[in-house]
Amino acid sequence: MHQVVLGLGGNMGDRLSLLDKASKLLVQKMNLEKASSIYHTAAWGGNSQGAYLNQVLVLNTSMKAEECLNFIQQIEKQLGRKREVKWGDRTMDIDILYFDNEIINTERLKVPHPQMTLRNFVLVPLVEVLPDYIHPEFGKSSVELMQACEDKLKVKAWQEG
């Protein structure tokens, strides 16, 4: 079995329902180990308008990394994801943050996720579920990565209503 850490988020449609649907689809082929709280975050990257809901899941799977990528991209598509604008609005984005302790650098897949250390909307929920996990390239824990992150966008726990 492999441990895969996924970052989920979206800012279009019924964001909470889409996160729930994504989780349910993921656990059809993976075993959920931990789920962070859901966080409300400002758009990152300058190309999207609405605020996001984000979450980090820790799962176990028998799939290899590329199979896992194919599976999560099918889920994104099933939930209405259209890849039109980089860092643009989306119904669902699922990123592989970590896959075991592997460093993967192929044309299709880069793990650990190359932008994760720059994004509080990833690091805050990651610290909640894996505070002491050591980034295989940088040798720093999730807490240390968050403390060093220069992202100033607010990330707050989601409260309905």
* Both structure tokens of 141: 């824990």
Given the residues 20, 89, 90, 100, select the one marked as catalytic. 90
| 95 given a catalytic annotation | yes
Active site (annotated) includes residue 100:
no
Which of 81, 83, 119, 132 does the annotation list as catalytic? 81
**DSSP state letters, the chain:** -EEEEEEEEE-SSSHHHHHHHHHHHHTTTSEEEEEPPPEEE---SSB--S-EEEEEEEEEESS-HHHHHHHHHHHHHHTT----STTB--S-EEEEEEETT--EE-SS-EES-TTGGG-HHHHHHHHHH-TTPBPTTT--BHHHHHHH------EEE----
Residue 14 designated active-site: no
Catalytic residue chosen out of the listed positions 20, 89, 95, 108: 95
Catalytic residue among 15, 83, 93, 119: 93
Asked whether 75 and 92 are in contact (CB, 8 A), the reply is: yes
> Catalytic annotation on 108?
no
Q: What are phi and psi of 59, to 5 degrees?
A: -130, 160
- Which are the catalytic amino acids? 81, 90, 93, 95
